[in-house]
Amino acid sequence: MLNLKLKRTLLTVAFLTLLTTFYGFEARFAEPATDTAASELTAVEPTGPAALPLAESYQISVYDNIIRRISGEEGNDWRLMSAIAYHESRFTPDIVSRRGAKGLMQIMPVVARQFDVPQEQLLDPETNVRLANLLLNKIASTLRMPTSVPFRDRMSIILASYNGGIGHVSDARRLARSHGENPNSWEVVSRYLELKADPAYYENEVVRCGRFTGYKQTRAYVNDVMKRYDRYCQVAK
């Protein structure tokens, strides 16, 4: 009788172990395969301000000190700039895209020329991060959004300009305004960026940069960077 109970107990333990292993395996493969750090941070579900203590020592990348210092000097949140760097290059300083964008922040040579920086310096991490900060600030000042615009709307529109071009974003804002909608709402601007693929909209007299077909990429870029920024804000000061 004792042996029978022992066998049943052992069989139950073995079954539970097998079940846990199987579902654990399935859960891991349900996560994005390209972003280990993101899956680890996503697992944290804060329930309030004290749910996840911030740590100055938390390392986002080996370029934290550079990004933190330069972003601070230029008045930007280093965690946002880190989120951009992750999306642009996965923190790879010597990467060059097929279009010619270079470095951590994937800066185009034309941007270097705008700020009188020699192109051969674009792969230097400090120069690259500095240019990204300068470009973001220039975009913000060009867009001239009121200070009352909510942060997420403001930053999403700036990021869309960084990725898709300020000309197309400005067109979308002018279209929104001409149709009586809010040009400072990312939801509205995003919709008009999509509509700029339609001749009924890109041939409108307020449009200066013509057709725009990259709205899906730009929308995904903004969403991805903002989500990663939120994650970084949870773990780093």
- What DSSP line would sit under 39-100, residue for residue? HHHHT----STTSS--BTT--S-TTHHHHHHHHHHHT--HHHHHHHHHHHHSS-TT-B-TT-
- Residue whose pair of structure tokens reads 């996503």 in the numeric block: 42
187 catalytic, yes or no? Answer: no
Q: Tell me which of 31, 56, 73, 88 is the catalytic residue.
A: 88
For residue 16, the 8-state DSSP code is: H
C-alpha to C-alpha distance for 9 and 24, rounded to whole angstroms: 22
C-alpha to C-alpha distance for 204 and 215, rounded to whole angstroms: 18
Q: Which two tokens stand for residue 196?
A: 């700029």
Catalytic residues: 88
